[in-house]
Structure 1
Amino acid sequence: MRKNTISKDERVKDFVQGLQQAGLRVTSGRLAICRLLAQSTKHPTATYVYERLHTDFPVLSLATVYNTLNTLLALGLVGEIGDVGNHQRHYDPNSNLHANLVCTNCHQIRDLEDSDLHMVRRRIAQRSGYQLRGARLVFYGVCPKCAGKRKP
């Protein structure tokens, strides 16, 4: 795994190499998906990716978006947060070790990087003997914006 300071261009390159290794052709649509993911600070759904790219890539299908995302997921190049209450799977293009914070009210997803997570990961690997390849830590709660709306 690379250091936390991976550039967007390096992420695109990693995504493209992964697709090629999986035997997929890197079409202009798949390249656009890779670029969108590399630039994203959000946790997109397949529908979001499709809607953002379909105008510029009219031959791009929703099935291609799902296949591309699922291939990148299987390769460990993106993560999956899953359904956060809006009945859609969310993908996480951030490959750095981090926690996700999910608002159960507005379904916003936020990344939280914390150096203590690296210590916890090392400790778990040492205690278990596992060669860890990844981790997913998701906290559910109410974001400050939604919490402010509830106050009288």
Structure 2
Amino acid sequence: MSDLLERLRGRGWRMTSQRRVVAEVLEAHHRPLPADEVHARAAERLPEISRATVYNALGELVALGEVVELATDGRAKRYDPNAHHPHHHLVCSRCGTIRDVHPTGDPLAGLPPEERFGFLVSKAEVTYRGLCPSCA
């Protein structure tokens, strides 16, 4: 069983076949996917799954904090299953492809105290932008 499925069961999330397939699709790809792609991949496994069911399951996973909803540059929202693994994102400026990256070091170390404006900073979310190999 996947980490995501184990966490969801541990939290008492009712595991219907539709919810399970959505979680399995997210866990299998380890990268942010748009809802339409989650639906398409889920429908390969469970043809009767509706788009509304996928959107509802994604919304519940976001509300539980098990999936992160990403919105970049006015494109379709993506759903990142790696909510419990610290990482940043690499985004293609042309096609919108998103990949998780795991650079070393503390991103907060690069923010000098005078640039924190009194904020008690607890987390940094870094997005790198450029062109993916297909668009370059």
- TM-score, normalized by length of structure 1? 0.69
**Does structure 1 retain, via aligned residues, the 8 Å contact 2:108–2:124?**
no
Q: Is the 8 A contact 1:50 1:62 kept in 2?
A: yes
In the alignment, does 2:19 pair up with 1:30? yes
- State the Cα distance separating 1:53 from its structure 2 match: 1.5
CA deviation after TM superposition for structure 1 residue 27, in Å: 0.8
Q: Within the alignment, does 1:43 sit opposite 2:36 as a pair?
A: no
TM-score, normalization: structure 2?
0.76
* Equivalence for 2:95: 106
Aligned to 1:65: 54
Per-residue deviation, 1:140: 2.4
Pairing of 1:137-152 with structure 2 (within 5 A): 137-147=126-136
Which letter does structure 1 place at the counterpart of 2:82? N
Q: Tell me, which stretches of 5 or more residues in structure 1 are unaligned? A: 1-7, 148-152
Secondary structure, counterpart of 1:38 in structure 2: helix
RMSD over equivalenced CA pairs, Å: 2.8
Q: Percent identity?
A: 32
- Greater helix fraction, Structure 1 or Structure 2: 1
Unaligned runs of 5+ in 2: none
Matches within 5 A, 1:51-130: 51-84=40-73, 87-95=75-83, 96-117=85-106, 120=109, 128-129=119-120
Find the counterpart in structure 2 of residue 3 from structure 1.
Answer: none
**Paired amino acid for 1:142:** L
8 Å contact kept, 2:21–2:45: no
Partner of 1:15: 8
